[in-house]
Chain A
Amino acid sequence: MKKQPKQPKEKTGKRMPKKLKVFLLLVLLLVVGFITTVGVNIYLNQNFMVSFYQLRCDKVSDNIRIIELADLHNIEYGEGNSKLIKQIRELHPDLIFYAGDMMNYRDSDYSVLFHLSDELSEIAPIYACFGNNELDQYLFEDREFVSKLEEHNVELLSNEAANVKVKNTVIQLIAVSEGTEQYEVETNNSKKFAESLEPTSNCRICLTHYPELFKEKLLDKGIDIAFTGHAHGGLIRLPVIGGLFSTGEGFLPEMTEGVMTVKDGTQVVISRGLGDSRKIPRINNQPELVVADICWY
């Protein structure tokens, strides 16, 4: 059998070069991908998701449900945060925690926070700690901030402890106000307070804005569970790698979301937060409402 040689194809007209075709196709794909990503992220960032975590602590006798709100930055989900309030009401929390940055830096408009607090305080007791935004507001702008918050049924703890009874369990709630940089400054009380903590048979829950404190500063303080925020989920979340940047830890931070068990066994809950104050948009990083169920089994 003789194989006949292939005949060269006749060019019927001007054809686009193959490389250009591939290039245009890639550009088209990139544009479509970019538009889709932006669209999806705009949609996701306008809605929050609920993240459920189950934590174990032998020191509690009952099922205790805590809802953590962090980094709201005066954002509203629905008119008067109706969506957020409805969702929290449906989840039946025993305690509600504000893990800091519920308002914006040096912004005296507290209406969003106060309205939310008024509504949520009807659902469960609210405890809060200072975030960097609130602390700055309190120290340099408004010394009445804490008392104003108390008027709206929020108990703000600052480097202090409180015993809270939930069902048949007594929880020792502590709050640390300063981040890693300010933690050891003598005029601040965070370090003194943390070192003055004595062992307790009650479940000790720490409320602080800064997760990075659990890398070193707040280790071996007998803390069973901690609720934190601040990292905003690392702003841009990449597959496999995780968060890209956080204010506390810089690039490729370790503590940006979820529950991490640190060296001394403390379970640190890190919220991705509900809002944003930066110009950098959240990508692949939907705002979240944290629901933590604590139980002994």
Chain B
Amino acid sequence: MDNKKFELTDKAKSVSSAAKAVSSGCEDATSDIEAVSFSIEDILPFSGASSSGSDNASSDIEDASSNDDGSLSDTVDASSGDDNASSDTGEASSGDDKASSDTGDAPSTDDNAKSNTKDASPKHRFKIIDDASRVTEKVLSPFNKVIDDVQRNYSNSSRIKKTIIAMFNMRVWICIPLIAIIVLGSCYFAFQSEKTASVEMSLNYEEAANGLNPNSTRFNAYNISSKDVVERMLWYCGIDPESVNVDKICDGISINATNHKSFSEGEYYISTTYKITLNRHSSIKDIKTEDLITYLCKSYKDNFYSRYTENRSILEFDIEVFNDKEYLEIADLLDIKAQQIKKYLNTRSKQSKSYVEAESDETFKSLVQKVEDIQSYDIAKYRTFVTMAGCSDDKARFISALEYVNRLMGISYKKDMAGYTVRNDGIKMYDDDMISVVMIPSIDDSKNTYYMSKTKTGMDYIAKEADDMLDSAQQTSKEITVNEDIISKMAAGTNSKENLDKASQMIADIRNKFTELSRQIEAVDKAYVKYRTKDYLTFKPVKKSLIQRLRLVFLFEVAAGLLVLIFVVIWLKFRMYKKGGKAE
């Protein structure tokens, strides 16, 4: 063991002598340097075991390097002698306690080294190690030089100060990779952020606070990621749904309530704003994520308006329904249309009696009045005209049809009257006491009081049925009379071409009036929807700042972490040196 220690010391000494030889300006410096590197590589396998013996060697080397000028250290660095020497010393300084155990292991390592040296190609082995060592040295040499310089120049300063100075001296080599990391990271995150877009959806109608749609059905925000909506989005964007995986695209849509509120058990809070995020699936190409999410919102809006808001189709006027209809039947259809529009307007009027459309000064009431004007004047006038003029495409068939209807209604009339008579007779057959009022004690739950309730008996129901049948019979009788009047007038009417043309013109006029009125109603209605609900839904794009898009905070955190790591590594490096420029 002792022999080996001496051997090491000798080799270390040969290193220092070689370094000195270089510093003295020997002409064959290169060969000496090679000799140094050879010697160091020879030492390397035993470095862990060198413990006390290597102290001397390394101190010699340290002395050599510290006493020499800059040019010397440059040359030594290039030849890999100094670095290896110092790293050897570093390992050697790992502690005396460890040294003993290391020393114990040394023989086997030594044996291996020796056996390797005895291999058939020792020159080849040394060449590989030599080359690897040179490459490593080249990479690390600038930093070791800086650290050595700092250690030399600020040998009495604290390690932290030396580390900071070393880092400052290496600022270019530290900053360039860190900037590169930040720049490349920013590019990556910028690319990633192109695949994601978000919007904030707000529900602006009254029923939303109760979790309902405008038509009082249950609201479900997750409809936005439904297959129907996504397929419509793809249709808008010109993408064939069969060419992409619709389910995957649906999965890429996330919906989160945004107005969070703390609530306890028993309390609940219904959100009316949601953040919708779309992660563009890789199968969708050639379209911006912003465009995709815009059309996702539009598709959802289409879906929402068609399913959950008022149906405005009643305002549309389709002239084709009048085809193949008799002139009098058209009058009936026009009447029905007027009734439907009035019903729609009355519903709106109940919602907001005071609403006045700014542009036209119309209210829902004034529009109802316009519909009534058409109904009571234009349609009535038309009805009278076609009846008086006997307008019909096929007069005989029409009269025959009316007569048939009258016959059926005559039967219905007789049936109603018979039912009325039977029930009346039945009531008369009962004793008066049987059909008197029966009072039953009852409880009013709301006031928690007793009261006497008047209860219907069987006779009450029979009497009501009799009344209904009489009403029906009277109504049927009235219609029969009207029809008879029409039949007589139609029969007397000329049904001339002029009259038919005039009737057609009257239909066209009424249709135009309805069309114009429908347009006015639609305009007022749209303005009302806009005023009352701000279009039910609004979508606001969530725009990320540049810092958020490039995730600069994260990247700077990474850079700071690396900076700390570099600091620690350099600090540890300084820890290997002894105070006053000598290695431990």
Residues on A facing B (Cβ under 8 Å): 1, 3-4, 7, 10, 50, 52, 54, 58-59, 61, 63, 87, 90-92, 168, 201, 293, 295-297
Complex: how many Å from CA A201 to CA B301? Answer: 25
B window 510-539: CB within 8 A of A: 516, 519, 522-523, 526-527, 529, 535-536
Residue of A nearest to B71 (CB): A10
Contact B69 A7 (CB under 8 A): yes
13 A-B pairs, CB-CB below 8 angstroms?
Answer: A1-B154, A3-B153, A50-B287, A54-B294, A61-B312, A61-B522, A91-B238, A168-B316, A201-B516, A293-B298, A297-B529, A297-B535, A297-B536
Residues A1 and B238 in contact, CB atoms below 8 Å apart: no
CB distance from B513 to the nearest CB of A (A): 14
Q: Is the beta-carbon distance between A293 and B526 smaller than 8 angstroms?
A: no
Please tell me if B424 contacts chain A, counting CB pairs below 8 Å: no
**Taking the complex as formed, is B291 at the interface, i.e. its CB lies under 8 A from any CB of chain A?**
yes
Q: How far is the CA of A168 from the CA of B295 in the complex (A)?
A: 22
B interface with A by C-beta (< 8 Å): 69-71, 152-157, 235-240, 286-287, 291, 294-295, 298, 301-302, 305, 312, 316, 516, 519, 522-523, 526-527, 529, 535-536
> Which of B157, B239, B526 is close to A296, meaning CB atoms less than 8 Å apart?
B526
A92 and B71 contact, CB distance less than 8 A? no
Q: How far, in whole Å, are A54 and B155 apart by their CA atoms in the complex?
A: 71
Contacts A10-B71, A58-B527, A296-B526; is A3 near B238 (CB within 8 Å)?
no
- Verify B291–A3 contact, CB threshold 8 A: no
Whether A58 and B526, one on each chain, are in contact in the complex, defined by CB atoms closer than 8 angstroms, is yes
Contact of A52 among B286, B295, B535 (CB under 8 A): B295
Query: Quick check: A4 and B152 within 8 Å, CB to CB?
Result: yes
Cβ-closest 7 pairs across A and B: A90-B238, A1-B156, A7-B70, A91-B238, A52-B291, A58-B526, A4-B153
Further 4 A-B residue pairs, CB within 8 A, beyond A54-B294, A87-B238, A91-B238: A1-B156, A54-B298, A58-B527, A296-B526
Q: Residue on A with the closest CB to B288? A: A52
Q: Separation in Å of the A63 CB from the closest CB of chain B?
A: 7
Is A297 a contact partner of B295 (Cβ separation < 8 A)? Answer: no
Residues of chain B contacted by A295 (CB below 8 angstroms): 298
Question: What residue in chain B is nearest A9 (Cβ atoms)?
Answer: B70
Is A63 a contact of B302 with CB atoms below 8 Å?
Answer: yes
Complex: A59 Cα to B522 Cα, angstroms:
9
Cβ-defined partner of B238 (8 Å) among A61, A92, A293: A92
CA distance A58 to B153 in the complex (A): 81
Residue contact B305 to A3, C-beta cutoff 8 Å: no
Contact at B152–A52, with CB atoms within 8 Å? no
Partner of B71, one of A4, A7, A90: A7
- Which A-chain residue is minimally distant from B157 (CB atoms)? A1
Q: How far is the CA of A168 from the CA of B69 in the complex (A)?
A: 94
In the assembled complex, the Cα of A59 lies from the Cα of B525 at a distance in Å of 12
Are A293 and B156 in touch, CB under 8 angstroms?
no
Q: How far is the CA of A92 from the CA of B529 in the complex (A)?
A: 29
Q: How far is the CB of A214 from chain B (nearest CB, A)?
A: 22
By beta carbon, the residue of chain A nearest B69 is: A7
Chain A: CB-nearest residue to B537: A297
Contacts of A91 in B (CB 8 A): 238
Q: Which of B70, B238, B523 contacts A50 (CB 8 A)?
A: B238
- Report the bound CA distance from A247 to B301 in whole Å: 40
| A296 CB, nearest partner CB in chain B, Å | 6
Q: How far is the CA of A125 from the CA of B152 in the complex (A)?
A: 86
Complex interface: chain A residues within 8 A of B157 (CB): 1
Chain A residue at smallest Cβ distance from B529: A297
Q: Is the CB of A90 within 8 A of B302?
A: no
- A168 and B320 alpha carbons, distance in the complex (Å): 13
Query: Which residues of A lie under 8 Å from residue B535 when comparing CB positions?
Result: 297
Write the nearest CB–CB distance from A46 to chain B, whole angstroms: 14
Contacts of B302 on A, CB cut-off 8 Å?
Answer: 63
Are A3's CB and B522's CB within 8 A?
Answer: no
Pair B235/A92 contact, Cβ less than 8 Å: yes
Partner of B519, one of A1, A3, A90, A201: A201
Q: Which residues of chain A have C-beta atoms less than 8 A from B237's C-beta?
A: 52
CA distance A22 to B153 in the complex (A): 32
**Cα of A293 to Cα of B237 in the assembled complex, Å:** 11
Q: Are A58 and B238 in contact, with the CB atoms below 8 A?
A: no
A54 proximity list for chain B (CB < 8 A): 294, 298
Tell me if A297 and B305 are in contact (CB < 8 A): yes
Which chain A residues border B294 with CB–CB below 8 Å?
52, 54
Query: Chain B contacts of A52 at CB under 8 A?
Result: 237, 291, 294-295
Q: Name which residue of chain B comes closest to A47, CB basis.
A: B286
- Rounded to whole angstroms, the CA-CA distance of A103 and B257 in the bound complex is 52
Residues on the A chain within 8 Å of B71, using CB: 7, 10
* A61, closest chain B residue (CB): B522
Shortest C-beta distance, A272 to chain B (Å), equals 16
Determine if B155 and A1 form an interchain contact, defined as CB atoms under 8 angstroms apart: yes
B152: which A residues are within 8 A, CB to CB? 4
CA distance A293 to B239 in the complex (A): 16
Residues of B near A297 (CB, < 8 A) are 301, 305, 529, 535-536
Cross-chain contact of A90 among B153, B155, B239 (Cβ < 8 A) = B239
> In whole angstroms, what is the CA distance A10 to B71 when docked?
8
Residues in A with CB closer than 8 Å to B316 are 61, 168
How near does chain B come to A54, taking the closest CB pair, in angstroms? 7
Query: Whole-angstrom distance between the alpha carbons of A246 and B579 in the complex?
Result: 74
CB distance from B417 to the nearest CB of A (A): 49
Q: Report the minimum CB–CB distance from B180 to chain A (whole Å).
A: 16
With A and B bound together, what is the CA distance between A295 and B295 in angstroms? 13
Q: Which residues of B contact A3 (CB under 8 A)?
A: 153-154
